[in-house]
Chains A and B, each alone.
Chain A
Amino acid sequence: MVTTTPEKYAARLTELEALHHELETGKRPGDGAVVVGLLLEAAGDVLRRRAALNAKSANLNKPLGAIPELALRSWGDGVQVEELASRLKRAASQAVESALPDSVEDGEAMAQWAVQDLQARDRLESALVALEALAGTGRKDAAALVTRLRTAVGGVDKVCRAGVASLTALNGARRAEAALIDQEYRGQAWWYSERTGIDDDQLVKVLGGEVKGSMPSEFRSANSEVTRKRGRPVSFDDLLRFDLGLASPGEKEVIRLQADADPELKLSLAAMEAAEAAIAEETAGEVAVPQSAPVSIPVERSITPEIIEERAEFKVLLFRTKKAVQVVVQPHRLDRLAAAAVYRSDEPDRPFPSAPGDMGIHFDLGAPERLVGVLARIVVKLVDGQTHAFEARL
């Protein structure tokens, strides 16, 4: 069960004071972008929850006004809107898994991770609201930045909001969060507030056929489309993958089942064998050359990583390729990172070896087919002794 409490936000005013002080004294090295980000989030959290926090009279102009122009620009340049889109999509996916999990523990973990991703969207919303407040005091740099970010984030929201029905699996946590947000900001926070009626609480389970319940009208035609009996003939790609030895056990079974019932497919398999004999004749005497890639193409560059966690000091990325699954711990600030280790749930006592790479510290966790259902535990230690631990499903 994922819980959320007003206490989580109650400390925001105190944090705001501390961050304001930190900004003014310039205690942290660097351009201050990290502190600016945290300050904007804290201020926005208060601005959007004044009623719940009983902070109607809180004056936020002073801490916001202390934000230097250069540090604000640097923070704005670092906002990764595309990553936000990935996190919202992942939240939608994990929300469904939390409602229809393989085990109770899996369901709880999935729900927690999904809520963490929604919180990331909410933190950015708070920062934007604080930025708007700053722009309202006449700061032109803040006005320009918030316009740019609102446009970019609006694009992400438009795409991800279409999938909000998946988030109904998290309705308990979402309702609790939405209830803390002031009425005027609640509608904008669609990730917490849209489709949170109790009628929708069981929606994902109903869609999955696990629970009998009334199907909302908008889903009725999709439901009949999906449940209508239909076949899927083996395709060109299926046969090629089968021939090349790339077919999964499921794909092989599909071909076997269809060949039993479809003489045409049987004929295709016979043709495959006959033509293979011709290929063997045509290539007889050729020496198979080792097929290393003629030009080294870094695997990491060709795919988009999943972001497991992002903090001011580091980012944890998960790369999946057909060949390997890799975790990369990417320090934002080398002087803050002390150590990182990665463990697999099937070998919980063995830290995986790391290697320095061009993106950070790389941990190769093995081939994806061996990692089904396995969790990775990533532990990152900072120089001040703080330890952060995260989990990711591989």
Chain B
Amino acid sequence: MLNDDELFADIARRKALGQDYKRPLGELVFRWRDASTTVIRRVQGAFMRGSPDDADEIFQDAVAKFMAKGLDQFRGVSEQVPGKAASPKTFFLRIVKHCAIDRYRRQREELDSGRGVGEDDDEPETSLPEANRSISEARALAEQQEAHGEYWKSWERLKEEHPNEAAAWDLYHHQDLDDHEEVARALGITVVNSYKRVSRAQAWLKLYILEARKREEGSSEEN
């Protein structure tokens, strides 16, 4: 029987050659199942929430993430930060850890976001003006969400194409630093650089949004 490292090397080889690697990957992560459960319990302990049933879903989520990006990430980490990834097992357990953390963080956000599911069930019948108002409110909300979506898509593009500008914008705008001296200190750049990066980020984000809209219009006209 192949040991973990040999099996992992076989998976990486199959992936590089475009061959199916799901079966050996399944075998490999199954070996790490118990260790994963221990890690998940430790996260549950820190958050003081969760049940044994969650472990299954978290484990599946981690396997999916490991398959989607983890194999390449592992190679990247090994090259960029030698020693940090240590072994495929350690790396997988870190993904498990983060899947668990993400789950319990999201659960808290959902709890904090107000009314839970099913609370709308007993609403009384609405009058016509109320219904019209609800429709226009729903439309406004949908438009806002769409605009919100296009902003974050542009943000992802900025991160990909101009990471330096994205980092400055993230601190200045999203994290509300609103102070170029602070941004410059955090990024190890000059205040002038910070100002310029934020300016470029702002311009690119607006240009990307308009570009996406124009492409969308072009596709709609064709259809």
Binding site for B on A (CB under 8 A): 92-93, 96-97, 99-102, 158-159, 161-163, 165-166, 204-205, 207-210, 218-219, 221-223, 225-227, 229-232, 236, 239-240, 243-246, 248-251, 253-254, 257-258, 264-265, 267-268, 270-272, 274-279, 281-283, 286, 288-289, 291-295, 297, 322-323, 372
CB distance B45 to A274 under 8 Å? yes
A359 to chain B, nearest CB (A): 19
Which of the residues B35, B188, B218 comes within 8 Å of A162, measured between beta carbons?
Answer: B218
Is the beta-carbon distance between B93 and A96 smaller than 8 angstroms?
Answer: no
Not counting A165-B211, A219-B210, a sample of 17 additional A-B residue pairs whose C-beta atoms are within 8 angstroms of each other reads: A96-B200, A97-B200, A101-B196, A161-B214, A162-B212, A165-B210, A219-B206, A226-B205, A240-B95, A243-B94, A249-B186, A264-B105, A271-B42, A272-B97, A293-B75, A294-B9, A297-B16
Tell me the bound Cα distance from A288 to B155 in angstroms: 38
Identify which of B17, B93, B176, B200 contacts A279 (C-beta below 8 A).
B93
Residue of B82, B150, B164, B203 touching A204 (CB-CB under 8 A):
B203
**B28 in contact (CB, < 8 A):** no
User: Which stretch in B116-124, B127-135, B166-174 binds the other chain?
Assistant: B166-174
Q: In chain A, what residue has the closest Cβ to B162?
A: A93
B81: which of A209, A210, A244, A288 is its contact (CB, 8 Å)?
A: A244
Q: Shortest beta-carbon distance, B203 to chain A, in Å?
A: 4
Q: Are A253 and B186 in contact (CB under 8 A)?
A: yes
List which B44-87 residues lie within 8 A (CB) of chain A: 45-47, 73-87
The B interface, classified by DSSP as helix, strand, loop or mixed, is: helix
Is A236 within 8 A of B102, CB to CB?
yes
Of B150, B155, B187, the contact of A249 (CB 8 Å cutoff)? B187
Tell yes or no: B100 within 8 A of A by CB: yes
Distance of A161 Cα from B211 Cα, bound (Å): 9
CB of A272 within 8 A of CB of B207, answer: no
Contacts A100-B203, A229-B176 given; does A162 touch B211 at CB 8 Å: yes
Q: How far is the CB of B181 from chain A (nearest CB, A)?
A: 13
Q: Decide yes or no whether B209 CB sits under 8 A from chain A.
A: yes
Asked if B22 is at the interface of the complex by the 8 Å CB criterion, the answer is: no
- Interface of A, secondary structure class, is helix
With A246-B81, A249-B186, A264-B105 already in contact, the answer to whether A288 and B200 are too (CB < 8 A) is no
A226 in complex: contacting residue of B16, B79, B82, B151, CB < 8 Å: B151
- Give the interface size bracket for B toward A: 35 or more
Q: Scan B82-116; emit 1 where CB is below 8 A from any A CB, else 0.
A: 11111101100111011111101100110000000
**What CA separation (Å) do A278 and B39 show in the bound complex?**
6
Q: How far is the CA of A307 from the CA of B101 in the complex (A)?
A: 42
A250 and B186 in contact (CB under 8 A), knowing A226-B209, A232-B174, A278-B39?
yes
Within 8 A of A (CB), among B167-223: 167-168, 170-171, 173-177, 186-188, 192-193, 196, 199-200, 202-207, 209-215, 218
Q: Is the CB of A100 within 8 A of B5?
A: no
Q: Counting CB contacts under 8 A, is B12 at the interface?
A: yes
Q: B43 near A: Cβ within 8 Å?
A: yes
Between A and B, 26 residue pairs with Cβ closer than 8 Å are A96-B200, A96-B204, A97-B200, A161-B214, A162-B215, A162-B218, A207-B203, A207-B207, A230-B174, A243-B97, A244-B73, A245-B77, A249-B187, A250-B168, A253-B187, A264-B109, A271-B42, A271-B104, A275-B46, A279-B39, A288-B86, A289-B5, A291-B78, A294-B13, A295-B16, A372-B164
